[in-house]
Structure formats: structure tokens, C-alpha cells
Amino acid sequence: MAMASGSGCSASSTTCSRRPATNAYFPLLIPESFLHKEAQHVEGFAPEAAVVTHGGGKKLDEPLIIRPTSETIIYTMFAKWVQSYRDLPILMNQWANVVRWEMRTRLFLRTTEFLWQEGHTAHVTHDEAEEEARRMLGVYRDFMEGWIAMPVVTGQKTDSERFAGALRTYSCEAMMQDNKALQAGTSHNLGQNFSRAFDLKFQSESGSTEFAWNTSWGVSTRMVGGMVMTHGDDVGLRVPPLLAPIELVIVPIYRSDVERSLVLEAAERVRHSLCEWDRRESSRLRVHIDARDGMKPGAKYYEWELRGIPLRLEIGPRDLANNQGVLVRRDTREKRPVSLDVLGEDVSETLSRMQRDMLAVALERREANSVRERISYDRFRQFMDAEGGFVYSGWCGDPACEAQIEDDTKATIRCLPDEEFRSAEAPTTCLRCDRAATSEAMWAKSY
């Protein structure tokens, strides 16, 4: 598709001031002692650790932890690589599997092993690290909204939900169709907590020795769950066009061998012309002809709808006589006749429209299930007991009040939302205790 296209020539610009993160790979197994160097970090992750005690037939002198996240091993290496401010910033990313022992797993959302990317950076100043953490939150938001068509609220986590060892944690929070929140990605300003623990120092421009400022950020296979639960319907998946492995499936309709060869020939012609069009537009349209014999068209429709492929083109002998086919959108299930001659632009535009529509539908649903007007705590409890959703309200800043609300309703502060998500008029009192509000919070039940 046009939206996914890019130039083949990826020149590293001399003018762009920000270098992209370098992809790297660090070990799966982390010595247990590394985890213990940062006090909050070990407290957060040790209880979830999978521990290797034996290797090569022998008991190990020191147990190894399967990485639950890689701050400890990566900053151990950064500390060896960095001497001077000239070595900074370092921006690294790895695609990896991680393991966090889970008592209650849930497909794609909470699994003992999951796949993610984790970025790790080191900077000269706090402000540069803060900017990086915020920038990546924006990158995640752009991907979630632009590609997954899953709108998110961005903001800062409260202390009780902060990443173990971070100064500040930012997150993207999406609303699923059951009105629960899904934390879909996080970005952390780690301050100097890890650089102190791992002795990640550098000589500054003025000659003094300073600890570096770190960030880390990650998104995972949880986003697949987010896609399923944002767009899925009773018929199956609805995959946003930009993420679909195939954008268009052609289903031939026939009753005899003669019809079959006529219709398949036409299908091949359509695919060929789409490919030609596609090549001219430097686009990436993937077209599949479902030529399986001995299977009824209806069974094929059912299967491709279940798999969420965005567009289906039905071609039968009668359509063919008029040089037509029927184009069906997976999201709206809208059907319309299309000419087989000039399909390229139509298909491309329809896919772009679907991508926009799917985001718009999800956004509308979220807003319809968000409460921004001031409500009483009783009304809040009823709301969370019943349909649920996102509630924006004042919070006194007291963790005890936050914990009490969770006890009462199972809802938690998903984030202290960024300015664009906050109410026009700042709330003045706390949702529960009526003390003065120190900030606006977004409450929801979550996965």
C-alpha cells in the first residue's frame, strides 16, 4: 500500500541531529548478582525470575536468571564502553524474548515468555534522557494509532505503577472492547539509578566525573492482543490494512471446470494488473488467489473473515461477463461491484480509508465510554461495577487513597494523562477523599 511504502535509498543524513538506535543483542542469561545491584529492580523482578541452576550437567557456582528485562546486563556493558562525554549518547535496541514467571497467564497479554524490543540509552544530562523517554512514547503512540489503528492515552504512571528502578514511567493506555485498559507500551526515564548501581560514569566536558542518565523503553507481543481486542468482532479478527499479511484475497466462484479455468484466468489477470499498478506506485500490495478446489466459496469467505484479511474480491462467471467483481470490506462488511479494469487505485484508496475508519471507530468507542464530567465516588463505584471505562478525575496524590480505590473497585490509575488528554477545566478535588487534587488521573480497570 502507498501508506507503507518507503524509498529504497535510506541515506543516513548528515543534517539530522539524532542518530537512530543501533540494533544489538545481549545474552539471555543474567548472573543473579547483577539483578541485586539495583535495590528496587531486584525487588520488582526477583519474584518473577526463572532461574537456571544447572548447565552442562553441573550445578552452577552462581545461578543465572533468564532476562525479565535487560537493564542490568546492558548497563554492565555500557559501563565498560563509556569513558568520556564524547562516547554519549548511546542508543541501543534489541529484539528479544524475555521471561517473567506468571501465575495467571492470558494469551498475548500476560505470558511467562514474551517477545519484545527493548531500547536502552545513556545520556550526558537528565533533560536529554527525559526528552528521549518522551520521544519514544511518541513513537509508540504513532505506531499504535497509525498502524494498529488503536488509539491510546499517553501519560505518566504513579509511583505504585512505576517500573522497578525508574525515576518516571510513561505509558500508552488503550481501551479494549470490554472497556478495560491495556497498557500497550512503556518508556522510562531511569535517572541515575542504574548508572550508580552499575558504575556507568563518564568524564564531562569540564573534566568532572558524572553518572550517566539512562532511559529504557519497550513494546511487546502484547500489542498483538491489543489489535485482536480493539478490532475483533464475532466473525473473527479484523486486521488493519497496514498490518495485514495479505491485503486482498480473490475468491473465484464457479460450477464447472470450464467456468473454473475462465474465472481463475481472470483472477490471475486482476492480480497481475494490481501488481503492475503496485510496482509503479512503489507500493506493497499482497494479493492472494484462493484457488483451493473442492471448497465452497462460502467456506472460503468464512475462513478469510476469521483471519481478518481486509479485502475480498469475489469473481464469478456472471460478474466476468460485465468485467466486474464484488469487493467486500472486512471491517464494515460493505459489498460493492467494481470494474476489474482499473482496480489498483480503488483498492489502494479503500485500504487507506479502512485504516482511517478503523482508528476512528475505535476512538469513538473509547470516547463514548470515557467519563470526563465530575462524578461522585458512589457513581464511580457503580460505573466500575457495571460497564466500566476510562474516568478522568482529580487525585489528591496520596498512594493510600489510590490503594483504597483499587480495593473498592479494582480500578487503578492507568496514568496521569498528558495535557492533550486532560479535561478543559482541571479537577479541583480528589475522586474519593475530597481533598484538593494535585493532578488529574485517568482511572480504569485493566489487564
- Can you give the binding site for its own copies, defined by CB under 8 A? 5, 7-12, 14, 25, 27-29, 46-57, 63-64, 66, 96-97, 99, 101-103, 112-113, 115, 246, 264, 267-268, 271, 274-275, 278-279, 282-289, 291
CB-nearer residue toward its own copies: 51 or 258: 51
Alpha-carbon distance of 403 to 442, in angstroms, equals 14
Q: Is 99:85 a contact under the CB 8 Å cutoff?
A: no
CB-nearer residue toward its own copies: 35 or 287: 287
Burial of 81 (0-12, 13-18, 19+ CB in 10 A): exposed
User: How far is CA 54 from each of CA 14, 51, 63, 113, 272, rounded to the nearest angstrom?
Assistant: 50, 9, 8, 20, 57
CB-nearer residue toward its own copies: 177 or 352: 352
Residues 6+ apart with CB under 8 A from 207: none
CB-nearer residue toward its own copies: 130 or 278: 278
C-alpha cell at 325: 467483481
Nearest distance, CB of residue 423 and its own copies, angstroms: 41
CB-nearer residue toward its own copies: 48 or 398: 48
User: How far is CA 400 from each of CA 221, 317, 366, 374, rounded to the nearest angstrom?
Assistant: 33, 70, 29, 21
CB-nearer residue toward its own copies: 50 or 139: 50
Strand blocks (E) in 76-204: 90-99, 113-123, 152-156, 168-175, 181-191, 201-203
DSSP, res 160: G
What residue spans of 369-432 are helical by DSSP H?
377-385, 399-409
CB-nearer residue toward its own copies: 51 or 360: 51
Nearest distance, CB of residue 38 and its own copies, angstroms: 19
CB-nearer residue toward its own copies: 51 or 436: 51
Q: Tally the C-alpha atoms within 13 A of residue 290's C-alpha that lie toward its C-beta.
A: 25
Alpha-carbon distance of 294 to 288, in angstroms, equals 18
C-alpha cell at 394: 482529580
